[in-house]
Structure 1
Amino acid sequence: MNNDFMLSSESVTAGHPDKLCDQISDAIVDHALLQDPNTRIVAECAVSTSIVFIASMFESKAVMDFANIARKVIRRIGYTKKAFNDKTCSIITSLKELSPDKNGPYNEHQMSDSEMDEVVVKNNATIFGFACNQTPAFIPLTIWLAHKIAIRLDRAHLDNELPYLAPDGKVQVGVEYKNRHPYRIHSIIVQACQESADVPTIEKLRDDVRARVIDAAFADEKIGLDDKTRIFINPDGAFVTGGPASHSGLTGRKKAMDTYGGYARNSDAALSGKGPLRIDRVGAYMARYAAKNVVAAELAHECEVQVSYSIGLARPVSIQVDTYGTGKIKDQEIEDIIGSLFDFRLPAILKKFNLRYLPNKANGGMFYQKLAVYGHFGRTDMELPWEVTDMRDKILPFSGR
């Protein structure tokens, strides 16, 4: 990537069909873990007109009504109209009960170091974590703004601020960079779905979305809109109904918006729909944790951490760092620091972040499904254990400060 460039990132509202699928999949994960923290589960979902299809493999003591879980998510998101709703959609399931793990369940909080070395990963994975100092949340400005506008669009619908809006919507934000730093807002595109073709006029929708969604989202941003910023709101005219009645959805399709908006790499594996025993999900959280603490300690303006796992091994086979030329010390030295301070073994990650127990009553039993929309990283509305910078002080001695 050049030092001077324009990058755009996309976000969608909770009612977008792909994100509907992610939330249903993670609601199933939440429901199972709430009853049985030792659950092994993978859940995938597809939606189309009037149909929801759920496929899941699991080993769990939890009692699960997959159809009821899905209907609750659909209703919470706001799909109550005739075209698609929780009461009339057909739900089809394909369920497979897994054989018990030959190693049996384990309690990571009571394991010794040598015992952790005996727990191997069950799938190959190369995952990425990234952080930068462009925003207070240590994520790129493009995806930060795209999520922020999408959240405002969702709230305008759910809070009945703009009562004619439907649950489905899409946002894209383009930012110009100079010397790898955000310089100005290049463009904003908002595709807001409305319930019917006759309410309101397209002119009113554009005025409302500009004032109540876009301008409101930029009210406290350091880099604001200027007279050259290109703003498009429903450029093709009315976008009516939307959701599964208009286009299909699938779990795991929005990996860039789940991570870093295309500014940095992400794994080819989905994050949502997997229990915390899947290294391709939780390893991404540990990689983000390491990258964020490196940037918080000011060892680099940007940091990407790549971690590779192989089936049958407990520890990663590779940890690599790329600071895009922004590091105060060599990337190899940062790799050594990360390797010495951060434990990437599966039980260690589970223990560090308490991942089996996060869908508890304190979180309303909804932890993972909340992650399934507006990104898994850089969240300011959730207390995410991989977002804390408690390792900063341990890294600081290496920063030369």
Structure 2
Amino acid sequence: MYLFTSESVSAGHPDKCADIIADTIVDRLLELDSNARVATEVFISGKHIIIGGEVRTSADIGEGFYRLCAIDALSAIGYPEIGFDESQTLYPDATDIRVLVSRQSPDISIGVDKKSGEIGAGDQGMMIGFATDETPTFMPGALEYARKLRDALYVHSLEHPDRFGIDIKTQVSLDYGTKSNFDANLPQAIRKIVAAVPHAAHVDIEEARSVVKRVIVETLGNDPLFDERACEFFINETGRYVTHSPLADSGMTGRKTVVDTYGAYAPIGGGAQSSKDYTKVDRSGLYAARWLAKHIVAAKLAKKAVVEIAYVIGRAQPVSVTVDTMGTALKPFRDEELSVRITEKFPLTPRWITEKFGLDKPSRSSFLYADIAARGQVGYDDYPWERLDELEWFMG
């Protein structure tokens, strides 16, 4: 066996709750003021929520705005589940919320908001894009399966809140057989599955395990890589999982960057995406890097690709763009040549990225950052940065 493992977590996980609250703030501020500058952090522990950070906006908002964002976000996630009391799960209306948000430093604004209309990078750092032909979404296989199971179990819990909770984790180990198969993106089997799903106190642990396993098996169905008899299951391994949510484990923005991106198949680059507006290249740069990497693989230039984009605070143009096809090139070109061609073709400034993907205009008709925080920052075809709209150029 040659195994590789990735995990995923549901919207009800405490870290994801923090991310979703932070991005609900981003969504609502940008809907009020598309030029808002947002960098808020959220910490949840027990029934206490702290919202801190920096914001600059022309919108007339107060502490009540942030408190409502938090309560609405937690309610939309699915808290509280009716099968659990206040000692077992989070009740949004019973939370103590402290708001410690200050105005963004004018020193940052000087570099970010150019008189020319250009946007300087809101911070320094390097962002990573990755793509692989292992799956139709150009995402790594183990992560795709972990997300698929996460979604199925989350939906089941939402549909049965009297029996199951929404603070869910999944993990999948793919067996590639050999290192050469791993390098060639050729998984052989799903070998191990881990799942943790809260259950109400009146649900016997063995019954809970049986239901969770049934949902998993039904979800994978006739997948050619799945054989129930050859797969090892680890379900609610502690033996009891009743108390959950931030009551059982604290949550903080930015702690699930591997889950949010490539499941450890590739480097993760700089900071997290959630809580930040589009001038922060931790967010916009990541989306552009993923867009480039996906085009490289979709154009059949390589079987997989890593793209790094690096910025310095206050400067619009990236300081470097680097392509690494990891020795899987399918056409005769050098990675350094492709790096130069991409740099010459695409500006990759925060303004260019923002306008291309509509990052300053989140809405229910396009995308919401809170939804992206719940699902994952990359890998879903309905995200603007997943569109393959420059394939002709890459294939030329």
**TM-score, with length taken from structure 1:** 0.89
**CA distances 1:126-160 after superposition (whole Å, capped 9, x unpaired):** 11000001111110011111111111111011122
State yes or no: 1:95 paired with 2:98: no
Amino acid at match of 2:369: Y
CA contact 1:185–1:229 (8 Å) conserved in 2 = yes
Separation (CA, whole Å) in 2 of partners of 1:362 and 1:29:
16
Greater strand share, 1 or 2? 1
Amino acid at match of 1:206: R
What SS is found at the alignment partner of 1:96?
Answer: strand
Q: Which residue of 2 aligns with 1:153?
A: 153
Question: Displacement of 1:61 after TM fit?
Answer: 1.9
Separation (CA, whole Å) in 2 of partners of 1:255 and 1:228:
31
Which residue, 324, 341, 345 being the options, matches 1:341? 345
What SS is found at the alignment partner of 1:171?
Answer: strand
State yes or no: 1:360 paired with 2:363: yes
State yes or no: 1:207 paired with 2:210: yes
Q: Which residue of 2 aligns with 1:185?
A: 190
Separation (CA, whole Å) in 1 of partners of 2:49 and 2:293:
37
Aligned pairs for 1:1-400 (under 5 A) are 5-64=2-61, 65-80=65-80, 81-83=85-87, 84-98=90-104, 101-102=109-110, 115=116, 119-160=119-160, 163-177=162-176, 178=178, 179-180=181-182, 181-196=186-201, 199-212=202-215, 214-219=216-221, 221-328=223-330, 329-357=333-361, 359-363=362-366, 367-380=368-381, 383-397=382-396
CA contact 1:52–1:89 (8 Å) conserved in 2 = yes
Amino acid at match of 1:200: V
What SS is found at the alignment partner of 2:356?
Answer: helix
Separation (CA, whole Å) in 1 of partners of 2:162 and 2:144:
26
CA contact 1:166–1:194 (8 Å) conserved in 2 = yes
Kindly report the root-mean-square deviation, in angstroms, between the aligned alpha carbons of the 2 structures. 1.9
Separation (CA, whole Å) in 1 of partners of 2:237 and 2:244:
15
Q: CA 1:63/1:85 → structure 2, altered by over 3 Å: closer, same or farther?
A: farther
Q: Which moved more, 1:323-332 or 1:65-74?
A: 323-332
CA contact 2:14–2:250 (8 Å) conserved in 1 = yes
Separation (CA, whole Å) in 1 of partners of 2:172 and 2:112:
47
Question: Displacement of 1:222 after TM fit?
Answer: 3.8
CA contact 1:166–1:241 (8 Å) conserved in 2 = no
Question: Displacement of 1:105 after TM fit?
Answer: 5.7
CA contact 1:175–1:184 (8 Å) conserved in 2 = yes
CA contact 2:111–2:313 (8 Å) conserved in 1 = no
CA contact 1:185–1:226 (8 Å) conserved in 2 = no
CA contact 1:290–1:342 (8 Å) conserved in 2 = no
Question: Displacement of 1:387 after TM fit?
Answer: 0.1
Aligned length: 377
In structure 2, runs of 5+ residues without a counterpart are none
The percent of aligned pairs where both chains have the same amino acid is 32
**CA distances 1:108-128 after superposition (whole Å, capped 9, x unpaired):** xxxxxxx47x54323111110
CA contact 2:111–2:120 (8 Å) conserved in 1 = no
CA contact 2:112–2:279 (8 Å) conserved in 1 = no
Q: CA 1:50/1:312 → structure 2, altered by over 3 Å: closer, same or farther?
A: closer
